[in-house]
Amino acid sequence: MNPALQGVITIIVGVGGCIGYFYLSNQFLDKVLFPARGKHIGRNINRANMIRPWLFLFPAIFALALYLGYPVIETLRLSFTDRSLDGAFVGFDNYAQMASEPKFWEAMRNNMLWLIIVPAMSTAFGLLAAQLTDRIAWGNVAKSFIFMPMAISFVGASVIFKLIYDTRPANQDQIGVLNAIWLMFEGGPGSYLFLRLLPAGIVICFALLMAYVLYLALKPLFRREAGAGGSWWSVPLRLFAGFVAAWMIWLSAKSVFSVLAAEFAYGSPQTWLTLPFWNSFFLMVVLIWIQTGFAMVILSAALRGIPEETIEAAILDGANPFQIFFRIKVPQIMGTIVVVWTTITLVVLKVFDIVFAMTNGQWETQVLANYMYDKLFRANDWGVGSASAIVIMVLVLPILVWNVYNARKEMS
């Protein structure tokens, strides 16, 4: 049969089946089960109306239960069984085995790095793009270009970036943009500026930012502000945030020297994706590139929703553009920022395609989803594979709940 014909038949059967289901089931409810006539007509109508929502919801609930609910429970069960023992119950053995594998902890560590960096960078770039494109005449054109990566699949984006990171032997022309740029540095003053002073400057800026965070976190503890009561958990939270900030300052202070003293292999093309630690960042760039568009579109809509008068009032109060942006605009769209952030966090926790297509978890770039795939489909060890799937779900769940909670709050 012609595939087009097949498609048409499928559509007719599918749509017709839906209409048929709703029509016939409602007919059955109204005519046979609780007919709107006879002695109990009022009671029958009320009962039929109580059942009707469930009639409409049933197909969705059924499909969700079959394709989402059941797999979750089955995965949980499988994570407690062992394939080599014919599926015998082994308790937490799979989890224990997983915890003893360095590759798992590498995946956990990388996932945490992804989790911190990708949502932060995507949201920050998205916010920046949203604010800047609102101000210029060709902003909408710029927006479409920034949004375009959203239309590219993760694998497609990985292919594009594989070409950017591509390496050719030193005596050939480089087709990878990154290596082409790298080979422009030869150790002169330009290299000193861009490869030592600039990174060092960025690190120092980061350290200063962290110092500001430290100041903000600890200030209320020393100087009681009027009206700043706070809950009982705010003190330990502030202490923790202060500790993290202090630690970041220490780390960045240390790395300033290593950045300034680093030895660079000028003139030799680098295989970027095999540089441990840094290659994870090269992979993150792909996801940031894609998610920035998403963040920009949502945040741009939120920025336009801010009442113009509050901005005019701030202008009259003497605020400069930076103060207006950070103290008037950003706080007003904080709810949306949180939703965007958590939504991207969910994407990041599930990240698989990019790592799979670019490094397949080699050279210390493993992430949880790819680890699961390795165990489940390559090693055929569904015990450990299911255990890692459960770990991912447990990590996603609280963020998902928080995301839905915030999105609902935004809507009301």
Partner 1 sequence: MSSLSLKDVCKSYGSVEVLRDINLEIDQGELIVFVGPSGCGKSTLLRMIAGLETITGGTLEIDHERMNDVPPAQRGIAMVFQTYALYPHMTVRDNMAFGMKIAKKSRSEIDAAIANAARILQLEPYLDRLPKALSGGQRQRVAIGRAIVRNPKVFLFDEPLSNLDAALRVATRIEIAQLKESMPESTMVYVTHDQVEAMTLASRIVVLHGGNIEQVGAPLDLYERPANTFVAQFIGSPAMNLLDAKITAAGETTSVQMPDGGRATVPIASQGSDAGSSVRLGVRPEDLTITESDEFLVSADVDIVEALGETTVLYFMSKNGEAALIAKLPGIHKIAKGTNIRLTAAPEKLHLFDDKGTSFFYR
CA–CA distances in Å: residue 183 to residues 194, 212, 259, 261: 13, 37, 19, 20
Smallest distance from the beta carbon of 324 to partner 1, in angstroms?
A: 10
- CA angle in degrees (0–180, nearest 5) for 61-64-69: 115
Please identify which residue in the block is written with the tokens 């062992």: 82
What residues between 333 and 352 interact with partner 1 by CB under 8 A?
334
- Minimum CB distance to partner 1 smaller for 36 or for 315: 315
Options 98-106, 150-158, 295-303, 325-333: segment touching partner 1 (CB under 8 A): 325-333
Options 126-134, 155-163, 307-315, 386-394: segment touching partner 1 (CB under 8 A): 307-315
Q: Is 74 in the site for partner 1 (CB under 8 A)?
A: no
* Cα gap 246→202, rounded to integer Å: 17
- Minimum CB distance to partner 1 smaller for 10 or for 310: 310
Q: Is 410 in the site for partner 1 (CB under 8 A)?
A: no
- Minimum CB distance to partner 1 smaller for 151 or for 316: 316
Smallest distance from the beta carbon of 127 to partner 1, in angstroms?
A: 16
Among 100, 138, 307, 412, contact with partner 1 (rule: CB under 8 A):
307
Q: Which residues pair with 2 in a beta bridge?
A: none
Q: Is 332 in the site for partner 1 (CB under 8 A)?
A: yes
- Minimum CB distance to partner 1 smaller for 1 or for 316: 316
Q: Is 313 in the site for partner 1 (CB under 8 A)?
A: yes
* Cα gap 182→164, rounded to integer Å: 12
- Minimum CB distance to partner 1 smaller for 236 or for 307: 307
Among 245, 302, 303, 314, contact with partner 1 (rule: CB under 8 A):
314
Options 140-148, 283-291, 317-325, 377-385: segment touching partner 1 (CB under 8 A): 317-325
Options 96-104, 259-267, 326-334, 359-367: segment touching partner 1 (CB under 8 A): 326-334
- Minimum CB distance to partner 1 smaller for 35 or for 335: 335
DSSP string of 195-254?
A: IIIHHHHHHHHHHHHHHHHHHHHHHHHHSPPTT----TTHHHHHHHHHHHHHHHHHHHHH
Q: Is 331 in the site for partner 1 (CB under 8 A)?
A: yes
Q: Which of 392, 382, 410 is nearest to 97 (CA)?
A: 382
Q: Is 36 in the site for partner 1 (CB under 8 A)?
A: no
What residues contact residue 104 under an 8 Å CB cut-off, 6+ apart?
A: 98, 371, 388
* Cα gap 59→224, rounded to integer Å: 57
Q: Beta-strand (E) ranges in 32-127?
A: 81-82, 88-89
Options 169-177, 197-205, 312-320, 390-398: segment touching partner 1 (CB under 8 A): 312-320
Q: Is 362 in the site for partner 1 (CB under 8 A)?
A: no
Options 154-162, 313-321, 352-360, 372-380: segment touching partner 1 (CB under 8 A): 313-321
Among 27, 153, 310, 362, contact with partner 1 (rule: CB under 8 A):
310
* Cα gap 119→345, rounded to integer Å: 6
Give me the helix-helix angle, 278-304 and 154-164, nearest 10°: 120
Smallest distance from the beta carbon of 3 to partner 1, in angstroms?
A: 56
Q: Which positions from 176 to 215 touch partner 1 by CB under 8 A, shown as an x/- string?
A: ----------------------------------------
Q: Is 317 in the site for partner 1 (CB under 8 A)?
A: yes
- Minimum CB distance to partner 1 smaller for 86 or for 309: 309
Please identify which residue in the block is written with the tokens 């002169």: 188
| Token pair listed for 381 | 């060890």
Q: Is 321 in the site for partner 1 (CB under 8 A)?
A: no
DSSP H helices, 134-197, are 139-147, 154-164, 177-182, 189-191
Residue 224: CB atoms within 10 Å:
9
Q: Is 318 in the site for partner 1 (CB under 8 A)?
A: yes
Q: Is 319 in the site for partner 1 (CB under 8 A)?
A: yes
Cα 299 to chain centroid distance, Å, stands at 16
| Token pair listed for 292 | 């920035």
Helices and strands: H and E segment counts in the chain: 19, 2
| Token pair listed for 122 | 């995507």
Q: Where do contacts with partner 1 occur on this chain (CB under 8 A)?
A: 227, 307, 309-310, 312-319, 323, 327-328, 331-332, 334
